[in-house]
Structure formats: structure tokens, C-alpha cells
Amino acid sequence: MTAILPALAGAVLGAVAGSFLSTIILRWPQGRGVARGRSACDGCGRTLGLSDLVPIVSALAFRGRCRTCGARIDPIHGRMEWACAAIGALAFGWMPGLGGVGWALLGWLLLTLSVFDWRHFWLPDAVTLPLVFLGLTIGFWSTDAMLADRVIGAVAGYGALLAISTGYRLLRGREGLGLGDAKLLGALGAWLGWQALPFLLLIAALIGLIMALGARLAGRSVTATTQVPLGTCMALAALPAWAFEIALRPDAF
């Protein structure tokens, strides 16, 4: 019973976070400011009031449309609010306190990065770099990796993909891997420790193969130059990789 209240609090905080993060996802790629200017309907330009901005509730009440002109609101808003609410509920319900705060922040930011990469093949430094700081600070309450393992994970994660990116560019004469991917892997190393990185890359590669297979089955062309959102794959692989690393420790049983 005691975990129910933290889970509810996490869901509410997650819904609010999802509302803000969905705005970032929509505005940044368009070069629009996030902190400046009030939210407005993209259809009629009406400034949105408080009743329009209540996470989840507003979307359900107005059926995902502007209550003035009836224009369809981008569904990313509702999806992010629901997803972040679920992440917050699970994080706070499973580990109340600073540990839950850490897992919630990690989940919300990874979700944001995965959507950015899926939509735009872009991992903004303004999101990935704070993950490194959070992994080396609040991450201590979420995972049991030692400081040395976190530092090694951050350096090794970034360095490994940086070396692959540089080698590919020298051999093929074109970009094959963005530095945003290297920074994200470094950030995940700062959270999970270097021991989880091999599992993370393996699982991310499997997810990428599944994406490519799904594209082929859907009739889309898949070639050697087809872009795969590696950042999205790594974000999805983070939790399973951490679980695998924990399960395979010598003292796990």
C-alpha cells in the first residue's frame, strides 16, 4: 500500500514532464523557443488556456482537437504524457525516494532522445550531456555501480563509438555514425557502469536488425546506406542491458 502514493505522485509528475518534453520535441527541430511564448493552437493561433493544458485530461476531454477550431493536435503530446506518466509511476512505485527520481529522470530523458532520433536522427547535446552529470550524481541512488565504473563507462562508451565513427569516415569517406550516439552511450555508461555496455550494444544491435526487418516486411527499401536510429535503439536497450548485467554477476544467485 505504501508504494501506491509514490506511484501516483510519479504518474502526475510524469504527465507534467511529458507535456513539457513533447513541446520540446515539436519546437526544437523547427527552431522555435521552448521557454518563450505561450502555447497556441497551430490551426487557429488561439492562445491555449489552463483548461487546454492539463496533461492527459485535456486530450481526453477535447478528443485531441482544439476546442475552438477543431484542428487535430499532434498526438505526440498525448503519447508523451501517457508514456512519461507510466515511467514515473513505475520508477516511484518501485523505488520511492531519490532512487526513483533518478530512474524517472533517466526514463523521461531517454524517451525524449529516442523520439528525437526516430523522427530527426538527432540527439541534442542539451539532453545527452545532462544525462552524464545526472548519472555521476543522482544515479548513485538508482544503480549500484561504483564511481570508478561510472567514469570508465562514460569514457569507454563515448570513446568506443567515437573510434568507430572516425574509422568509418576514414575508410568510407562519409559519415556513418553521429557523435550524438557516442555521447549517449557515454551517458549510459555514467549511469550503468562499463560492465553493462557490451550487453547494451548487443541488444541495441538486435533492436536495429528488427527495425530493418520490419521495414523490409513493410515494403520499404533497406540498403547499406539506410539510416537506423541507433540512439533510439540504445535508449530501448538501456534497462534490459542493466538487468542482464545484474543477473549475470557471480553473486547474483
Please answer whether residues 53 and 39 qualify as being in contact, where contact means their C-beta atoms are separated by less than 8 angstroms: yes
Amino acid at 202: L
One domain, residues 12 and 80: yes
Residue 41 in this model has a pLDDT that exceeds 70: no
Query: Is 29's pLDDT higher than 70?
Result: yes
* CB-CB contact of 191 with 142 (8 Å): yes
Q: Are residues 66 and 87 in the same domain?
A: yes
- Asked if residues 42 and 100 have their Cβ atoms less than 8 Å apart, the reply is no
Q: How far is CA 41 from CA 52, 63, 84, 190, 237, in A?
A: 10, 14, 23, 39, 35
Q: CB of 143 within 8 A of CB of 194?
A: no
Domain stops at, among 36, 70, 96 = 96
The angle that helices 147-172 and 197-217 make with each other, rounded to 10 degrees, is 50
36 band by pLDDT with thresholds 50, 70 and 90: low
Check whether residue 21 and residue 142 sit in a common domain. Answer: no
Cβ burial 135-164 (10 Å sphere, 16+ → b, else e): bbebbbebbebeeebbbbbbeebbebbbee
Q: Is the pLDDT of residue 230 over 80?
A: yes
Residues 88 and 109 in one domain: no
Residue 65's φ and ψ, nearest 5 degrees, are: -130, 155
Q: Angle at CA 93, nearest 5°, toward 90 and 98? A: 100
Residues 187 and 228 in one domain: yes
> Could you list the residue range(s) of the whole structural domain that residue 118 is in?
98-253
Residue 30's pLDDT band, with cuts at 50, 70 and 90, is: confident
Considering 65, 96, 127, which residue would you say is the last residue of a domain? 96
> Is the domain of 245 the same as that of 145?
yes
Q: Is the pLDDT of residue 178 over 90?
A: no
Q: For residue 37, what is its C-alpha cell?
A: 511564448
Say whether both 111 and 224 belong to one domain. Answer: yes
Count: domains in the chain:
2
Q: With 50 as the cut, is the pLDDT of residue 1 above it? A: no
Among 46, 75, 96, where does a domain finish? 96
Q: What pLDDT does residue 177 have?
A: 81
How confident is the model over 25-36, as a mean pLDDT? Answer: 75
Residues 104, 120 within the same domain: yes
